[in-house]
Structure 1
Amino acid sequence: MTKVISRSDIEVGQELPAFSRETGFAVWNRYAAVNDEFVPIHMDDEAGRAAGYPSAFGMGNLQWAYLHNAIRDWMGDGGRIAALSCQFRGANTKGMTLTVSGTVTAVRDEDGTRYVDLAMTVKDQEGKALAPATATVAFDG
């Protein structure tokens, strides 16, 4: 069954459901295979340590993908991502659990489209923000 959020039910302050994933080599390897991103710092602990981290670390764009997943899970088939911006401020190393959270910050209607602004972040299991983000979702009709 396809989830469709009702545009009339969206309010400022509403929280998106959390989206969580545990990171590690198996996840990074699958992501690298799809995106041809077999970079040593993501595949080899020695290369990660040489870059100043305790081990190999995950791709920033994987955190970007998790932001997309969280938005798509929330909006269902009723909306489209009109804008997404984030800043990578921390790496995800093996065994971390990353959680994406988001809150509706504004709702506005323009020419028959409802635009919903979101404040989002990707955090590690200790609550450290790795990628703060903003997004706008458009609900047409």
Structure 2
Amino acid sequence: MSDGLVYWEDVEEGEEIPTFQRKTDIMHWNRYAALNDEFVYIHMDADYAKSIGQPDVFGMGNLRLAYLHNMLRSWVEEEGDIKRVGCQYRALNFREDVLTAHGKITRKYQEDGDCLIDLDVWVENQNGDNTCPGSATVRLPSRS
């Protein structure tokens, strides 16, 4: 690698990519909600969340997808492309949770002239619970 740019030739199956981490709070949720018109009581009003049986307000599922996207974009930089990313929401994330997006390379291959990488991706909370398993495919630049 040079200057932080990741080339297809430099990565191997089984490697983990750099993580993305965020401590969640109402300010992050407000910014996300403003962009997505998602001002929903379960995300903003603790009394309402408690009235439906939750211990506190909880974050938007799609925000964890954004964390996965941030992790991938940081890794591939402008020279690479995120071809596909998807995930499932398996648990709630509450205010003040520390969420860490992870990625592990599962396949390295070439297809139609592209140098591709498949990854398992996921988001863990501060307890190590995988709240958001998923997968992704990215295109990396080649040295050749």
How do 1:1-141 and structure 2 match up within 5 A? Answer: 3-139=4-140
Distance, in Å, in 1 between the alignment partners of 2:72 and 2:52 is 32
Distance, in Å, in 2 between the alignment partners of 1:51 and 1:64 is 25
> 1:111 deviation in Å?
2.2
Distance, in Å, in 1 between the alignment partners of 2:9 and 2:132 is 29
Distance, in Å, in 2 between the alignment partners of 1:12 and 1:51 is 44
Distance, in Å, in 2 between the alignment partners of 1:40 and 1:46 is 9
Unaligned runs of 5+ in 2: none
SS of 1:71 mapped into structure 2:
helix
Distance, in Å, in 2 between the alignment partners of 1:96 and 1:36 is 23
> 1:87 deviation in Å?
0.5
The answer to which structure has the higher strand fraction is: 1
Q: Deviations over 1:96-127 (max 9, x none)?
A: 00001110000010121011000011010010
In structure 2, relative to structure 1, the CA distance for the partners of 1:52 and 1:3 (3 Å cut) is farther
Give the total of aligned pairs: 140
Q: Is the 8 A contact 2:8 2:116 kept in 1?
A: no
> 1:139 deviation in Å?
2.9
Deviation beyond 6 Å, 4+ runs, structure 1: none
TM-score of the two chains, using structure 2 as the length reference: 0.91
> 1:3 deviation in Å?
4.8
Q: Is the 8 A contact 1:112 1:140 kept in 2?
A: no
Distance, in Å, in 1 between the alignment partners of 2:73 and 2:119 is 13
Percent sequence identity over matched residues?
A: 43
> 1:136 deviation in Å?
0.5
Q: Is the 8 A contact 1:5 1:74 kept in 2?
A: yes
Distance, in Å, in 1 between the alignment partners of 2:4 and 2:74 is 8
Q: Deviations over 1:7-37 (max 9, x none)?
A: 2112101111111000011111111111111
Distance, in Å, in 1 between the alignment partners of 2:70 and 2:23 is 14
Q: Is the 8 A contact 1:20 1:97 kept in 2?
A: yes
